[in-house]
Structure 1
Amino acid sequence: MSATRKDGARHRAVGHLDIIKCFTWEISSINNYLEELRQVWARTLGISGPQWMILMAISDLDKDDGVPVNVVSKLLHVDPSFITTQSKLLEKKGLLRRKPSPTDARVVRLSLTDKTQKHLASLAEQYKAIREYVFEEFDQDELTAFTEKLATLKNRLEKACIRVALDL
């Protein structure tokens, strides 16, 4: 089935739902497509999608002195033990470095190896082209406003999860 026919069929399937349900399904679909892209890029390094996300978080957050495990875990919304386990595997593959913080030896700081930085640089043009294509409908102000709205929704969903957990 062509992409256009698939898209049309999906729109008919959700067309009868209320707007909040439609929004929820659209976000779910967006997440699935993002996961598919992560998997493609992760395979270029022989790693998993979640490991790719760890490398991307470090790439975005590192300011030359590494990123604490807990900062990466908060950004990815996962337990720090998951980051610790996966970062050890990534270290064995030569994709990142783990070193104790110079101010607190209990804190492990993560940074990308030169090998990983070169690999990411080799993907930069493809990533830029994808990003430009996906976001071509938005100017800077629209994208900023939309991102702020999504952040508000994320924060409210986090609070809703806490409420639901407390009610059970």
Structure 2
Amino acid sequence: MQTTKNKREVRASRASTIDPDIARRFASTVSSVAIFLDEIRQFRAKSLGISGPQFALLMAVMDLEQGEGVSIRHVAKAVHVDPSFITTQSKLLEKKGLIRRQVDSHDARVVKLSLSDKAYKQIAGLATEEQELNRFIFEETGGEALEQLTLQLGELQNRLEKATVKLASGL
């Protein structure tokens, strides 16, 4: 019990030392990074003949799928959109031959998505360009530092998600 209280006190102490201007600059910088990442996604999507959101859907399926497909609900959560959007877009991507949609054998209400062989080939075709782009973007950041930054941003993402829940419930 004492350690939990101490952890809360340390967090409260750290939080009270955060300059609001720095927090705002941080938020602005992160927003700018998100915009540039979205622009890069749009360029990559265009090379596959799809939209940026469709590309995000493909990448989420590729990352989440473990050999038996991934549910629309899980993909929607990963890309922060409503499942109906994933349903609509996955049907369009299925028509283009990039996604496979299958009814779950255990629950007929669930549709699972997986990438087609065509999608894997097209994404593999982007690999060299992606490596060059990553080399350019992260040339001054080592792999270990990038991993640490990714972990810190993941923790921040979790805190922001909790903050939105707090705000929605009236703090």
Q: Normalised by the shorter chain, which TM-score bucket?
A: 0.7 to 0.9
Displacement of 1:125: 0.3
TM normalised by structure 2 equals 0.82
**2:46 alignment partner AA:** R
In structure 2, how many angstroms separate the alpha carbons of the residues matched to 1:145 and 1:44? 31
TM normalised by structure 1 equals 0.83
Describe how 1:67-146 pairs up with structure 2 within 5 A: 67-146=70-149
1:26 has 2:58 as partner: no
Q: 2:54 aligns with which of 28, 43, 51?
A: 51
RMSD (CA atoms): 1.7
In structure 2, how many angstroms separate the alpha carbons of the residues matched to 1:18 and 1:62? 41
Displacement of 1:53: 0.2
Query: Matched residues, percent identical?
Result: 50
Displacement of 1:27: 0.6
- What is the SS of the residue equivalent to 1:44? helix
Q: Deviations over 1:22-77 (max 9, x none)?
A: 11111111111111111111112222111110001111222222111111112112
Displacement of 1:103: 2.0
In structure 2, how many angstroms separate the alpha carbons of the residues matched to 1:71 and 1:61? 8
**1:40 alignment partner AA:** F
The aligned counterpart of 2:167 is 164
In structure 2, how many angstroms separate the alpha carbons of the residues matched to 1:63 and 1:165? 34
Question: How many residue pairs get matched?
Answer: 152
**1:132 alignment partner AA:** R
In structure 2, how many angstroms separate the alpha carbons of the residues matched to 1:110 and 1:23? 36
In structure 1, how many angstroms separate the alpha carbons of the residues matched to 2:48 and 2:35? 20
- What is the SS of the residue equivalent to 2:60? helix
In structure 1, how many angstroms separate the alpha carbons of the residues matched to 2:107 and 2:21? 52
In structure 1, how many angstroms separate the alpha carbons of the residues matched to 2:141 and 2:64? 25
* Runs of at least 5 residues in structure 2 that lack an aligned partner in the other structure: 1-19
Largest Rg, 1 or 2: 2
